[in-house]
Amino acid sequence: MLKFEHLSKTYGSGLAQNTALKDVSAEISCGEMVALCGPSGSGKSTLLNLLGLLDTPSQGQIWLNQQPVPTDVAALSQLRCRAIGFIFQRYNLLPVLTALENVEYPLQLLGVAKAERRARAMALLDAVGVGKFASQRPDQLSGGQQQRVAIARALVKAPPLVIADEPTANLDGVSAAQVIDLMQQLGRDANTTFLIASHDPRLYERCSRLLTLKDGVLVDNHNNTLPSARRAS
Amino acid sequence: MLHAACLNLWRHRRRTLFTGMVCSAAMTAVLLGAGFALFTYQSLAEKAARDLGHLTLSHPDYFLDNEDVPLQHGIDRNPALEKRLLARDDVKAVLPRLQFSGLVSNGEKSTIFLGSGVDGSEFQLKGPFLKVKAGGVLPPAYLSKADDSIPLMIGEGLAAILKAKVGSELSLMSATSTGALNALDVVVVGIFSSGVPDLDKRQLYLPIQAGQQLLQSDKISELNIYLLDDQQQAGLATALQADMPALKVTPWQERAFVFKAVRDLYNRIFGTLGILMLLLVLFAVGHGISQVVTERTREIGTMAALGERRHRIVGNFVLEALLLGAFSAIAATLSTLLCCELLRQFEVMMPPPPGSSQGYPLMISFSSELTLYAALVLMVVCMLFALKASLSAARKPLVDALGFV
């Protein structure tokens, strides 16, 4: 589903050059829930940005559904629109839109008719348990509620891949557990691949695979053997 | 897109209101400044046209050459022409005028004067072009009978020099059209102020027939034509000139030296102030719009990350700016109209301009054309700054834009 080979990312040049990611390769199957682990500065976010097509690698290649990802900005934008859902650490909901409109937005970009996108968005908001807040705007919601809306937004177009950056970092224990359950359940239903960067050990337990980065290098890539882990279908 | 732009403006209403207030305050300042300049120009033009007549018929050399004797370049009165002109719908009045100079004496003291022989109806037709300080104006119809005293209006400065009051008897002395010296006894019926102290020390008015009696001539210096609508001026001037090639038709603009001098001076003052104001407006509007867009960099990054095309993102911001500019322009127009009305209701007097003894009411002329241009400029400026700021935000690397705080 997602394959990347020899990915490197270097920032700056000359003496100020900083290599954030060094020769990272791996392959992730359809429906897997993969955690990117490692201390701060290990390159998790950099790898996530590259695999989410938000940034371009200095070296290496990425394949999505057996197709090499394009380099053209417009084509990348279209690919993100069709194939990737994002859950950002700081939710990044559009502040002027209501929860329902935020979830509708990716469908609007895909040209889905208003009635259909409204129905799908509402169904997903109900599924993540914030249906009653559909008409509220982000600043009227708690952190947990916003994160649920962000999850609904990421999943509403049923993308094959969801990129999540520290989805539980700003949540209390109960909310974090609920969010993890939600992602696991919705992902399983739609056979969605999740790639999650996190420091949260509770999340590691639920992932089918752990990729561990240290100083920009992939130092470990192993399957999770815990019973709570979600398996690739 | 329009719906989204309206929604954004409405939901960001505090920010919209603040930026809109900056924009509309800037445009209001421009409209008020320009409106004041416009009022000044219009007032001066109206005064000049009222004093001189929209068109003047005279001898071709009258304004070019100094006369050897009075009325050397005078013209004969032409009742048929005056009747023909008065029959036109666009002509308000046709008034003959005699210009002459000489000495005025109270029997003990003499001083020079600049005299105007006028038709008595001029004071009724032209409106309050002089401020009568004492007595009244010349009678509308003066019949030069031998036993009648000749009425005279003199400037307040001249009255002070001669210690003249209403009812005082004075003597006018002047060279006749044949070069001889002649004198005329007159009675002061009114003392006026033209608003220009230097002029008030010299100026006097008397009936045109009395002036002709003094100069011993039937001629007049000029025939002034007053129009109801100054838009007709150019057409009538051309027609008259073609009709009477022996005479010279002069529009008031060619004679209004004070108007031209003041307009040139004000053009420089208002022009410089206008440029400074425009720069301030550009800075304020540009800063406001840029800040609003820059603050939303993360939003732009999120939209781009979700797959929104760059040109649509930028287009959205430009459309928002256009709407903001349009709303601000409407608000500025309304506040300018309100200021105009308030100034009309509660008269605010300006101090007398240099060389004048009379203040004038502060008024703002509202110009639809100027408002339209200002609104267009405001909208274009808003759009350009929104375009620049949103392009810059949309070109930011997505990772940076998403993390923008």
DSSP annotation string for B337-387: HHHHHHHHHS--EEPPPTT-S--EE------HHHHHHHHHHHHHHHHHHHH
- What pLDDT does A100 receive? 96
3-class secondary structure per residue, chain A: CEEEEEEEEEECCHHHCEEEEEEEEEEECCCCEEEEECCCCCCHHHHHHHHCCCCCCCEEEEEECCEECCCCHHHHHHHHHHHEEEECCCCCCCCCCCHHHHHHHHHHHCCCCHHHHHHHHHHHHHHCCCHHHCCCCHHHCCHHHHHHHHHHHHHCCCCCEEEEECCCCCCCHHHHHHHHHHHHHHHHHHCCEEEEECCCHHHHHHCCEEEEEECCEEEEEEECCCCCCCCCC
Q: Are B90 and B78 in contact (CB under 8 A)?
A: no
Instruction: Write the CB contacts of B342 (distance below 8 Å, at least 6 apart in sequence).
Output: none
Q: What is the pLDDT of residue A233?
A: 45
Least Cα distance to B266 among B42, B29, B28 occurs for B42
Helix (H) or strand (E) holding B174: strand B169-175
Q: Which residues of A touch B11 (CB under 8 A)?
A: 95-96, 137
Taking the C-alpha atoms of residue A195 and residue A111, their distance in angstroms, rounded to an integer, is: 26
For chain B, which residues make up each domain, given as ranges? 2-47+260-402, 60-246
CB proximity A147 to B under 8 Å: no
Q: Which chain B residues touch A49 with a CB distance below 8 Å? A: 398-399
Neighbours of B124 (CB within 10 A): 11
- Could you tell me the strand order of the sheet in which A84-87 lies? A84-87, A161-165, A193-197, A33-37, A209-214, A217-223
Closest CA to B339 of B44, B45, B36: B36
**Chain B residues close to A52, C-beta within 8 Å:** 305
**What six digits make up the tokens of B348?**
């605010």
More confident residue, B154 or B242: B154
DSSP-assigned letter for residue B388: H
Q: Taking residues B179-202, what's their average pLDDT?
A: 90
Task: Using an 8 Å CB-CB cutoff, list chain B residues near A82.
Answer: 307
Q: What is the reported pLDDT for A232?
A: 46
**Residues B304, A88: C-beta atoms closer than 8 Å:** no
Is B308–A73 a contact, with Cβ atoms under 8 angstroms apart? no
B3 and chain A: CB distance < 8 Å anywhere? Answer: no
pLDDT of residue B143: 62
CB B301 within 8 A of CB B394: no
Query: Two tokens at A161?
Result: 């891949």
Q: Is B194 helix (H, G, I), strand (E, B) or coil?
A: coil
Q: How many alpha carbons lie under 13 Å from residue A154 in its C-beta half-sphere?
A: 33
Q: pLDDT at residue B326 above 90? A: yes
Strand (E) or helix (H) holding B238: helix B233-243
Sign of CA dihedral A141, A106, A165, A160: positive
Exposure string of B198-221, with b = 16+ CB inside 10 Å and e = fewer, is ebbbbbbbbbbbbbbbbbebebbb
Residue B286 CA to residue B383 CA, distance in Å, equals: 10
Q: Using an 8 Å Cβ cutoff, are B67 and B79 in contact?
A: no
Buried b (16+ CB within 10 A) or exposed e, B127-151: eeebebeebebbeeebeeeeeeebb
**What percent of chain B has a predicted confidence (pLDDT) above 90?**
29
Nearest alpha carbon to residue B222 among B338, B67, B345: B67
Q: Is the CB of residue A76 less than 8 Å away from at least one CB of chain B? A: no
- Evaluate the CA torsion angle B143, B149, B151, B152 in order and state its sign: positive
Measured distance CA(B385)–CA(B287) in Å, rounded: 8
Domain boundaries, chain A: 30-56+73-223
Query: Pairing between strand A217-223 and B110-118?
Result: unpaired
Which of A49, A54, A96 shows the shortest C-beta gap to B11? A96
What are the structure tokens assigned to B352, written together?
A: 């007398």
Which residues 84-103 of A have a C-beta within 8 angstroms of B?
86, 88, 92-97
Q: What angle do CA B149, B151, B153 make, to 5 degrees?
A: 155
- Yes or no, beta carbons of A80 and B306 under 8 Å apart: yes
Q: Which tops the pLDDT comparison, B270 or B212?
A: B212
Q: What is the 3-state secondary structure (H, E, C) of B154-168?
A: EEHHHHHHCCCCCCC
Cβ burial of A62 (10 Å; 0-12, 13-18, 19+) is middle
Least confident of A130-144, B255-269, B362-376: B255-269
Domain A30-56+73-223: which CATH number of 3.40.50.300, 3.40.309.10, 3.40.220.10, 3.50.50.60: 3.40.50.300
Strand order in the sheet with A59-64: A18-28, A2-11, A59-64, A67-68
What per-residue confidence (pLDDT) applies to B116? 92
Q: Is residue A207 within 8 Å of residue A48, measured between CB atoms?
A: no
Q: Across the interface, do A82 and B307 touch by the CB < 8 Å criterion? A: yes
d(CA A85, CA A52): 9
CB contact under 8 A, B308 and A109: yes
pLDDT at A228: 61
Question: How many helices and strands (H and E) does chain B possess?
Answer: 13, 12
Q: Does the distance separating the beta carbons of A74 and B309 come in below 8 Å?
A: yes
C-alpha–C-alpha distance, residues B293 and B318, integer Å: 10
User: Using CA atoms, how far apart are residues A207 and A162, in angstroms rounded to an integer?
Assistant: 14
In angstroms, the CA A223 to CA A229 distance is: 9
Sequence-distant (≥ 6) Cβ neighbours of residue B186 within 8 angstroms: B149, B150, B151, B152, B169, B170, B171, B172, B206, B210
- With a cut of 50, list the residues of chain A below it in pLDDT: 232-233
**Using the beta-carbon criterion (under 8 Å), do B298 and A49 form an inter-chain contact?**
no
Query: Which residues have a Cβ under 8 Å from the Cβ of B384 and sit 6 or more positions away?
Result: none
Residue B124 binned pLDDT confidence (cut-offs 50, 70, 90): confident
CA dist list (Å): A67 to A77, A161, B20: 15, 14, 49
CB contact under 8 A, A81 and B302: no
Residues 284-323 on B with a CB inside 8 Å of A are: 298-299, 301-310
CB contact under 8 A, A94 and B304: no
Cα–Cα nearest to B205, from B216, B217, B194, B218: B194
Q: What is the pTM of this model?
A: 0.71
Residue B104 has pLDDT above 70, yes or no: yes
> What is the torsional sign of CA A165, A171, A176, A182?
negative
Model pLDDT, residue B127: 67
Pick A54's closest partner by Cβ from B308, B309, B398: B398
pLDDT at position B86 is 86
Residue B399 has its nearest CB partner, among A55, A73, A93, at A55
Contact B357, B199 (CB under 8 A): no
pLDDT for the residue B293? 82
C-alpha closest to that of A1 among A154, A162, A153: A162
Residues B384-401, mean pLDDT to the nearest whole number: 88
Contacts of B1 in chain A (CB under 8 A): none
Å between B301 CA and nearest CA of chain A = 9
DSSP 8-state class, residue B220: B
Identify the residue among A88, A139, A163 best suited for mutation to test binding to B, counting B beta carbons within 10 A and taking the highest: A88
